[in-house]
Chains A and B, each alone.
Chain A
Amino acid sequence: EPEVTQTPSHQVTQMGQEVILRCVPISNHLYFYWYRQILGQKVEFLVSFYNNEISEKSEIFDDQFSVERPDGSNFTLKIRSTKLEDSAMYFCASRHQGFSNNEQFFGPGTRLTVL
């Protein structure tokens, strides 16, 4: 069964460093998302991506963040100048085409720890 994959599973970085989180969405999906979840808290929307551009972003997704689909398969989230409060689980998700289709498939997540 096709699935969303994410790498790395765990990333440890020093405050102020840049990190890139990688995702490979399901191959025939057209809508891509990044979410974050601080330990024990709710899932928070960061950004949605469609047709090679950002569709929407939340107030969390400021200039520190950027997304890219550098090729036909990868979808990346870059976090510049990381802060302690960026420590969280980051989930990538993808959705098939069809506006009425609301089933998002989530990847296993990348746990980001900022020291």
Chain B
Amino acid sequence: GQSLEQPSEVTAVEGAIVQINCTYQTSGFYGLSWYQQHDGGAPTFLSYNALDGLEETGRFSSFLSRSDSYGYLLLQELQMKDSASYFCAVREGSGTYKYIFGTGTRLKVLA
């Protein structure tokens, strides 16, 4: 079967660093994306990793290890506005347009 597992909830304080993990088991793998979703809002794209290693975009970084079927999203200098749900999503193959989303992690940032 296909699965993308994430912790259900993570709590951290303002200014801290938090890591949200994603382990996947899919029929194919072409790349891993991360999306942010505020309550009542639409998912917004954060990052994409096709190759092993770290991708940095401002306060957010994303890491991928294809051999471990694992990735994570790293959020630095946390702000209250970062309180949201975060989803990883796998693109299954080079010839596909299908994206499978993870279970989602709710991040709570405390003052």
Contact = CB atoms under 8 A, between A and B. Distances in A.
B35 to A, nearest CB: 8
A56 B98 contact: yes
B98 A48 contact: yes
A19 to B, nearest CB: 19
Contact of A45 (B31, B41, B99, B102): B99
A103 B99 CA distance: 11
Given A42-B87, A42-B104, A43-B87, A105 B45 contact: yes
Interface residues of B, number: 24
B45 A44 contact: no
The dominant DSSP class at the A interface is strand
Interface residues of A, number: 24
A24 B42 CA distance: 15
B90 to A, nearest CB: 10
B101 interface: yes
A35 B37 CA distance: 14
Contact of A102 (B33, B37, B103): B33
A107 B96 contact: no
Contacts of A103: 45, 48
B27 to A, nearest CB: 12
A47 to B, nearest CB: 9
A75 interface: no
B43 interface: yes
A109 interface: yes
B98 A43 contact: no
A25 to B, nearest CB: 13
Contacts of A91: 42-43
Interface of B: 31, 33, 35, 37, 41-45, 48, 50, 87, 89, 91, 94, 96-104
30 contacts: A31-B97, A35-B101, A41-B104, A42-B87, A42-B102, A42-B103, A42-B104, A43-B35, A43-B87, A43-B89, A43-B101, A45-B98, A48-B97, A55-B96, A56-B98, A91-B42, A99-B94, A102-B31, A102-B33, A102-B45, A103-B45, A104-B33, A104-B43, A104-B45, A105-B45, A106-B42, A106-B44, A107-B42, A108-B41, A108-B42
